[in-house]
Amino acid sequence: MPEPKNENLFRSFYGTNTFIEKADIDKTKYPFKSKSGNGNGYPDFFNDSSIDNWIIIVECKATDHKLAEQEVCYYMSNDGIKDKYNRIGIATSGENESDLKVSYYYALKNQKATKLKVDGFIELDKLQQIVENETLEVEKEALLNYRTKLNDYFDFEYFNKIEVKNRPLFFAVLLLMKDKIKQFLDEEEYVKIYKNNVYLKDEFDNLQQDKIEQEKVILFNNSNSNDKIKYFNKFLYDTFSTKIKENQNNKYKEQVIENFNFLKLIDPAEITLFNNTHTHTHNSKWGIYKEFLLEFCDKFNDIRKLQKEYDIIGLCYIEFFKYSTQQLGGDIILTPEHIKDFMCRVAGVNSNKVVLDICTGTGGFLIKAMQIMFEETQDVNKQATIKKENLIGVEYISTMYCMAFINMMLNLDGKTNLMKGNCLVDFDDGILKKTLEKKPAKIGIINPPYNDNQAIIFTKRLLDLLDVGGVGCVIAPANTLLKNPQQAKELLQKHSLRKYVLLPANLFVMQAGAQQTAIFLFEAHTQQREDDLVYFYNLSDDGYKYSSRKTYDLQGVAEDVYKQAIYNVKNEIIISKPTGNDRESYKEKVDLETMKNAIFTTKIQNELKMSDFAKTIIDYYIYEIDEQKRKLCNGK
């Protein structure tokens, strides 16, 4: 071996059996190319089993560390490797511990290697955590870019026959069923699965064995695109329906399935292709459809890390309806991820408390609450109890309920107590109240509708449903109490406002007419007294820059701002009296007749700045121009 001492240092740290030696690398599966360009060549060590969905490539040198770095990056960029695998590279040099140098790289599939800012050998579990954190933002950015392309598909391809209201449902069902879609679209896999009767047993009891070969012919050997599309849509509907029916504990599953009937009703014969928008390798309707499905499955192949941090279904919902006049319900405002996290933490979410959301939407608050609970306990039985008992949601709009249902399934269940109905009244024989009688909710978190006086109406309902002393955490227009003094007075005769956090004026720059919002923290079933002090915290400058496309942490301070804000709000830390300084906090009484207070009257920006308004208009017209260009190109 040319660098035995360095290789021995590597083996000593990671163990002799953790990595595969050069001679034992699977030459067929991993076709590395020689550094000289002639034939095959292989790295010194290799691992494809220690970190899920990543391969690790290692190059060792006696003294030339720059050469080790160059060669590991070369192997990471090999054709047949970079286009198939997420890669981690380790370059190491030195013949003893005193002159040891180690460099680490990572690269997602089809991307260039990026160097990590770490030194020395790192345990693989810690390396995995570092790489996942680094790639999370990269993957989110890729998702944001792809969702725009996805919306283009809906406008200009086969999918223009899918109504706007059904597009988020179509996206959700593809996301949930992507693994079976991949199997279905692969002829070899299809034949193997169906001949072994796996799908027949579990999901296709209504099909007869002698029809399998006929259907295989339809899908793979028939040239009629319409037949293929119709058969695939039937497959998608049938497999999805069966998966939903497996959830024996949810009484609303049949209603969920009904919302996906549109999959069966699409007539492929009516589809007109406008396929100049994207480059395709196929000209037929089925060829383009299949190409899209394979691309979709590839893009969302491994979303576990993203799903832990982001409401993917919610993010794509925003894109589908951003400029649409068909937005569901007209007043659906999806909460940014960092605000969900902030609200759950200041409300005191933990694994022992039941969390209630009566305006569930896509399920973002319940998912975030579940994630925080799981941070606290790794006990499998405890986590099962959390999923079954500690998360209660209510949603009235059918499409939103379906998205929440699927969202919870993507996050490993947690949907048992997801109810469909009007939370402002008793529904389904009082199912919500009966559930809360068995397991009272100590925490309620909602982002209610903002139109008219609905925010205060939903807030009162939430607090009435909570257990005595429960915490109600509500994000609503900042002037909600000031604008509705009589309703606010009635609310505070039964409940009490304990904390108020003012949020950035443009937090919902595209979604909510740019109203400035605040977080209200109430104590349920405790009347507000005239001498009660309310804790006010000004978070209107949180370090983020908000735009219609994404949220930017330009100075790299926003995460620290929120960590400090969570601590300050939970512990009611007093920073200063209101003198115009950003992020000040203080305690003060609220006039129970007028709801007036210094922060209500001097800090709330009730109107947009002209620059904010102009930016929104510009974004909209850029979108419209792009739309018109694409329509002209496609003959629309």
Range of the domain at 636: 610-636
Q: Are residues 170 and 271 in the same domain?
A: yes
d(CA 56, CA 308): 24
Structure tokens at 17: 């059996």
Q: Report pLDDT digits (tens) over 310-343.
A: 777 877 776 666 545 444 444 567 788 899 999 9
Q: Are residues 601 and 461 in the same domain?
A: yes
Residue 128 lies in a domain: no
d(CA 580, CA 599): 10
Q: Are residues 165 and 82 in the same domain?
A: no
CATH number at residue 522: 3.40.50.150
By the 8 A CB rule, do 550 and 144 touch?
A: yes
Q: Are residues 375 and 460 in the same domain?
A: yes
Number of helices and strands in the chain (H, E): 24, 17
What own/partner pairs with CB < 8 Å and gap ≥ 24 does 198-206 have? 199/239, 202/242, 203/238, 203/239, 203/242, 203/243, 204/238
Q: Are residues 79 and 146 in the same domain?
A: no
Residue 316 lies in a domain: no
How high is the pLDDT of residue 546?
Answer: 75
Q: Are residues 634 and 488 in the same domain?
A: no
Residue 114 lies in a domain: yes
Q: pTM, whole model, 2 decimals?
A: 0.74
Residue 492's nearest CA partner among 520, 453, 450 is: 520
Q: Report pLDDT digits (tens) over 183-235.
A: 777 754 554 444 443 333 334 444 444 454 555 555 555 567 777 788 888 88
Return the top range by mean pLDDT from 401-405, 569-573, 617-621. Answer: 569-573
Final residue before a domain boundary, out of 90, 122, 154: 122
Helix 312-321 crosses helix 167-185 at what angle (to 10 degrees)? 120
More confident residue, 411 or 579: 411
Q: Are residues 487 and 370 in the same domain?
A: yes
Q: How many independent structural domains does the chain possess?
A: 4
Final residue before a domain boundary, out of 122, 143, 174: 122
Whether residue 438 is predicted with pLDDT greater than 60 in this model: the reply is yes
d(CA 233, CA 235): 5
By the 8 A CB rule, do 49 and 15 touch?
A: no
How high is the pLDDT of residue 483?
Answer: 87
Q: Are residues 400 and 335 in the same domain?
A: yes
Q: Are residues 580 and 617 in the same domain?
A: no
Q: Are residues 469 and 512 in the same domain?
A: yes
Q: Are residues 155 and 197 in the same domain?
A: yes
d(CA 239, CA 254): 14
Tell me the percentage of the chain whose pLDDT exceeds 70.
75
Q: Report pLDDT digits (tens) over 97-142.
A: 999 999 999 998 888 899 998 889 999 998 988 887 777 777 777 7
Final residue before a domain boundary, out of 93, 122, 151: 122
